[in-house]
Amino acid sequence: MVGVIFFLKAKKNMQDIIKIKRALISVSDKSGLLSIAQYLVESGCEIISTGGTAKFLQGHDIAITGISKITGNPEAFSGRMKTISFQVESAILFDREKDKAEAESLGIKPIDMVVCNLYPFEKYLNQNADPDTLIENIDVGGPTMIRSAAKNFKFVTVLCNPNDYNAVINELRLNDCGISYKMRKKLMADAFNITADYDSTIASAMDKFNGEESLRLSFKGGKELRYGENPQQQAMIFQERKTDTSLLDVEILNGIELSYNNILDVNAAIESVSGLKPKGCVVIKHSNPCGLAQGEDPGQVLNLAWNGDSVSAFGGVVAFNSPVNLSTVLFFNFDASEKKERKFIEIIAAPEFSEEALEYLSKQKKLRVIRFNPELTKNELDLKFVNGALLSQTKDNRLYEKLEIVTKTTFDFESKRDLLLFGLHAVRQVKSNAIVTVKETNDCYQLLGIGAGQPNRLNSIRLALEKTVVNLNNEGNNSMNDVILFSDAFFPFEDNVELSNQFGIKIIVQPGGSIRDKNVIEKCNQLGISMIFTGIRHFRH
């Protein structure tokens, strides 16, 4: 009985491998093509080819059968007609089991592999080519062959991406010029996605040609998460198909998988530390930075970021934009005998960790330790789904349009320029209505207080300044002289200035643009406050 089972399995495995005896090669992108073409020829495979591909292969002494010999027709109309024919599509599409006799009676010889990539429509689209050039770069025969081969993947291998050539060659070598069902199935899915994305790009371009904007999105690698924002919600994460790096494949060096909320917080952390120089650290809680600092020493900036709001930092996400060593992470005091003395965080992320730092952090079994490079995650668009619609906007990548002192009261602007840029970066990360305060501490810049997500700006100012007072008092300092207040949008009324003045603020940075700017500026002049207009608003909803 065991021998019978083994025989049946062996027979199944033999059927699983399809030998490549005949391949059709017609490609626009010829990179890497010689390696697979040469292997096929050396293995006794007949290669059928078209147009420029045929000339390319013949130029490298690879024998080919011209497509016209198969179709019985010439390549015509400047190459628009080459492969589209009963003979070619039948050779790819017919069922090798059910249709074998019919194919033989029609003189159809099977094609076992299709190597094809498409006219570079997107390349010319990105070059702002004229409509006639775009039309000529819409491939018709290529997608037809690809879809035919993909549909019949049970018997045919379809190969569209030069990046897959080496894997296919390895399979051919392993299986005596045969391809496994598993590989054919994978390449089939890749092929349908390639033609889908190709047609989507063309459709959007043709919409624009007709005066209508459209956007088609493609994502892959869907991964189920434990749950969404709340346990009763299901959640998944997908990677944008055209993106090489994403939070889907972020490297987790220690701890359990990331949840939906974790991913949102890590994303906020990445955006918060990206661009901070020389070194930056952020503490994120509920997608808002509760602490942010930049300076030369990672340990020092961690201490300042944490002390920005040490209560809110409990259970937060800590991220760096520079490598982290042991001396930095000892700050968390994980070795303390008293549990209350250990600092509790959910996630720590950085571009790199020393071996000693990773060993120390790994003592906390559930602590997620994430390796990432914030400079690799740069989205061009900010997309938000709303009921039955999609909002799309470019990323908020401009800190300011101008830095103009608009009041009679001034200050040493140049000496505080870098601090001003840090403050603008900080307020851009906070949910609107957003107010932040910052100051320089021991050659580092620190976020002292935030007011986030309030229905009115006065509440945000009050929250930010009350926290600022607490932090200053903790330092044994009760002076606001060195503190700068930033607003993500204009001050609509003088009461914003009056409240800031009650707490002792001497410098305010805001976009300007209110119909009451003159009144606000006059109030600053009356109170001896310096005000800077930036010309750029930073709403974040």
Tokens 């920005």 correspond to: 308
Same domain, 423 and 313: no
- Over residues 332-347, the pLDDT tens digits come to 999 888 888 899 999 9
CB 314 within 8 A of CB 344: yes
Query: Which one, of 22, 17, 19, 9, lies nearest residue 181 by Cα?
Result: 17
Query: Is 216 inside any structural domain?
Result: no
Same domain, 308 and 436: no
Burial 468-492 (b: 16+ CB within 10 A, else e): bbebbeeeeeeebeebbbbbbbbbb
Query: Is 89 inside any structural domain?
Result: yes
Interstrand relation of 345-350 and 368-371 (parallel, antiparallel or unpaired): parallel
- Over residues 350-369, the pLDDT tens digits come to 999 999 999 999 989 999 99
- Over residues 431-441, the pLDDT tens digits come to 999 999 999 98
CA distance linking residue 6 with residue 239, whole number of Å: 41
DSSP secondary structure letter of residue 476: T
DSSP per position, 228-256: SSSTTS--EEEEETT-S--GGG-EEEESS
Which of 180, 209, 238 is the endpoint of a domain? Answer: 209
CB 284 within 8 A of CB 319: yes
Query: Is 236 inside any structural domain?
Result: no
- Over residues 152-192, the pLDDT tens digits come to 999 999 999 999 999 999 999 999 999 999 999 999 999 99
* Domain with 74 in it: 13-209
Domain count, the chain: 3
Q: Kindly list the catalytic residues.
A: 151, 286
Same domain, 158 and 254: no
Query: Is 86 inside any structural domain?
Result: yes
Mean residue pLDDT across the chain? 92
- Over residues 57-110, the pLDDT tens digits come to 999 999 999 999 999 898 889 888 888 999 999 999 999 999 999 999 999 999
Predicted confidence (pLDDT) at residue 13 exceeds the cutoff of 60: no
H helices, E strands: number in the chain: 19, 23
CA distance linking residue 169 with residue 32, whole number of Å: 11
Q: Which residue has the higher pLDDT, 380 or 16?
A: 16
Same domain, 365 and 403: no
Alpha helices by DSSP H, 99-140: 100-105, 121-126, 131-136
Same domain, 517 and 462: yes
Q: Is the dihedral of CA 321, 326, 331, 334 positive or negative?
A: positive
Same domain, 268 and 347: yes
Q: Which amino acid is at 356?
A: E
- Over residues 40-63, the pLDDT tens digits come to 999 999 999 998 999 999 999 999
Write down the pTM of the prediction. Answer: 0.83
8-22, 120-134, 459-473: which range is least confident on average? 8-22
- Over residues 104-162, the pLDDT tens digits come to 999 999 999 999 999 999 999 999 999 999 999 999 999 999 999 999 999 999 999 99
> Once rounded to an integer, what is the mean pLDDT over residues 371-375?
81
